[in-house]
A and B are shown apart, each in its own frame.
Chain A
Amino acid sequence: MNRQPIIQVRDLIARYGDETILEGVSFDVYEGEIFVILGGSGCGKSTLLKHLIGLIRPSSGQILIDGEDLALADSHAYQRLLRKIGILYQSGALFGSMTLAENVALPITEYTEVPLDLVSSLVRMKLNLVHLAGYEDYLPSEISGGMKKRAGLARAMALNPKILFFDEPSAGLDPVTSAGLDNLILHLNKTLGTTMVIVTHELQSILAVAQRVIMLDRGAKGIIAEGDPRHLRETSRNPLVRRFFNRLPEDSWIPA
């Protein structure tokens, strides 16, 4: 693979107080790739994501986004970095006092010179893309959880960032909507070449979209497997990985 790494993580150590969550994690995400971070509950997936987008500073180690170190970036550089990424938060994180259209229009009006009357056509295109046409004037509190998530996606990709981060995109969605979201992810990846970093534990959508995964584990405090998910499911020797991909319970869960 001769593609450029767009995210590089080197020896990342994440701590909350005395508790170490991640101990020496290193991996690369390549440009244009759909990359999935997976693992059971409490393994540090969300912590890792928050480090990648710069919400938490690493205790030690390096995170390079597009060649720039997050920890060393001053506020200008960090602003520049933020322009390259879009984030879909778990429950959408839409602004409650704004309509869906205003939510999506916010980054466009703030950061581009597109005239106001055209912004609304753009917004309509974006909402169309996530199948929310006709809901422009709705407030977030008036729509369902799945719709909020899709509107959140429309806002995250308002400026067509180079990298899109997804925090549990299919959590709380019905299978049809979830599959639709997977399709949209694949489509955006193909047409715009957007790099996707997805944190999830939904097996089906991992197998549907992921080109490469890393699997984190709570006990190991780091990566226990890396590679193509289909390949991992068939061939991994690690019992944790096999259990995850084959949806088997832990031995101790219910005594036989």
Chain B
Amino acid sequence: MTKDEAQRCRWTFYEAVNLRPMHTSRSQGTWGFETSQDREGGLLLQLSGRMDAVNAGAMLRDLGALLERTRPRALTVDLSGVTYVDDFGVLVLIQMRHRMTARSGSFSLIHLTDNAKEILSLLRFDEVTEKPAFTKKPTPNLFVRLGDATLRHIHEFQFLTSFTGSIFLALLYVLRHPRSLRKEDTLLAMQRTGVDALPIVGLISFLLGLIIAFMSSVQLRQFGADIYVASLVSLAMTRELGPIMTAIIVAGRSGSAYAAEIGTMRISEEIDALFTMGLDPTRFLAVPKVIASLVVVPLLTLFSDLFAVLGGLLVGVLMLDLTANAYIAQTFVTLTPFDVFLGVFKSVVFAFLIAWIGCFRGFRVRGGAASVGQATTSAVVSSIFLIILTDSLFSVILRYWG
């Protein structure tokens, strides 16, 4: 440290803008320091003002810079002018001590106020070591993680199997004791899954019918086969697209809702409460949802077929100059009862998949709010995947069997 620097008395007041504003509010903090050289060539640092959260950032920065520049052999910090110290202030002192000891210099505090003494002893200032941060949990190596993941999947599969079993047992139980079914819950689930979904299912199917009719008419018109637009729309919708579109909409609307509802109940220990009251959570929560979707999804599918035919009809009448009668007659000629039955049967399977996966994901929730979010997402993703997969299986089976 040069003589010049040492003798210069510097009062620096800072207007710190440490509190990052949520809007533009500026929080002002004031502190200051004064340095002088003592007889042994050490640095005497007189602090004043508040050593708190507002000032800590600037203090760390400026005092750190000061020590870097002056590099004293000994540092004495005088706290007589300090009006308030909290753990942020203590952190500043710890950092200065750390800088000094790192260069094997000495560090001492003088003129501590009672408040400062109290907080220093509370935070065990003398014992705190400067080891940075806490040790992170070690991340296990690749094999451990691979093994963990495998075990997790096996466990998941075991749970899935036992959950599926318990759903079937509960359904059997309800079949044998129909009065044990929670009727209000089932009706409510039917309303939420079915009635409330009708507008969106109707609209999407109507537009889908319209699109199919429009697209196919462009091709079929070249052969003068306009009338077959009716066949195409009705057959495609009843056998494939009706059940699939309905199932995807229901998975998005209700499968996710099932997972979120049951998941939240798990977190708030409501499932545990049911269990300890001797009530089977599967029968109480899953069965009403499974039964409700088994009933309403096929109905929604039929509505979806109907709306799609209406969409096709609109295109047929307005753009292809077909009469409504001809269009409807052609629809009836094309469709066999088996087509309708196949669509409905598929939708029953899809309905079970949606409720099953939704409830399963809900019961798997562990931990906090984020886990509910994951369960909801994976309920929708898994059920859509399973719906498409099952539908392909149906196509393959029918190709060789039908």
Binding site for B on A (CB under 8 A): 75-76, 79-80, 83, 95-97, 101, 108, 110-115, 117-118, 120-122, 124-126, 128-129, 136-137, 139-141, 159-160, 187, 190-193
Cβ–Cβ contact B25 & A120, under 8 A = no
Among residues of A, the one whose C-beta sits closest to the C-beta of B369 is A96
Query: Which of B54, B88, B118 lies in contact with A122, CB distance below 8 A?
Result: B88
Using known A-B contacts A121-B132, A160-B87, determine if residue A187 contacts B122 with beta carbons closer than 8 Å: yes
Residues of B within 8 A of A110 (CB): 20
Query: Which of A83, A125, A139 lies in contact with B91, CB distance below 8 A?
Result: A125
Among residues of B, the one whose C-beta sits closest to the C-beta of A118 is B91
CB distance from A138 to the nearest CB of B (A): 9
CB distance from A111 to the nearest CB of B (A): 5
Cβ–Cβ contact B86 & A160, under 8 A = yes
Residues of A within 8 A of B95 (CB): 118
Residues of A within 8 A of B318 (CB): none
Q: How many residues of B contact A (CB 8 A)?
A: 43
A115–B87 Cα distance when bound, in Å, is 15
CB distance from A36 to the nearest CB of B (A): 23
Give 16 new A-B contacts, CB below 8 A, not counting A76-B25, A112-B88: A83-B19, A96-B368, A96-B371, A111-B20, A112-B20, A112-B56, A113-B60, A114-B88, A120-B134, A121-B91, A121-B94, A121-B132, A129-B123, A160-B53, A160-B86, A192-B119
CB distance from B177 to the nearest CB of A (A): 37
CB distance from A37 to the nearest CB of B (A): 26
Interface SS of chain A: helix
Cβ–Cβ contact B19 & A140, under 8 A = no
Mark each residue of chain B from 17 to 39: 1 if its CB lies under 8 Å from any CB of chain A, else 0: 01111111101000000000000
Cβ–Cβ contact A83 & B27, under 8 A = yes
Cβ–Cβ contact A97 & B368, under 8 A = yes
Residues of B within 8 A of A137 (CB): 134, 136-137
Using known A-B contacts A113-B56, A190-B118, determine if residue A125 contacts B370 with beta carbons closer than 8 Å: no
Cβ–Cβ contact B368 & A140, under 8 A = yes
Is B61 close to A, CB under 8 A? Answer: yes
Cβ–Cβ contact B91 & A114, under 8 A = yes
Is B240 close to A, CB under 8 A? Answer: no
Query: Which of B16, B18, B86, B370 lies in contact with A96, CB distance below 8 A?
Result: B370
Among residues of B, the one whose C-beta sits closest to the C-beta of A108 is B53
Using known A-B contacts A96-B367, A122-B91, A137-B136, determine if residue A112 contacts B19 with beta carbons closer than 8 Å: yes
A79–B21 Cα distance when bound, in Å, is 9
Residues of B within 8 A of A95 (CB): 368
Cβ–Cβ contact A129 & B60, under 8 A = no
Is B323 close to A, CB under 8 A? Answer: no
Residues of A within 8 A of B134 (CB): 101, 120, 124, 136-137
Mark each residue of chain B from 122 to 140: 1 if its CB lies under 8 Å from any CB of chain A, else 0: 1110001000111011000
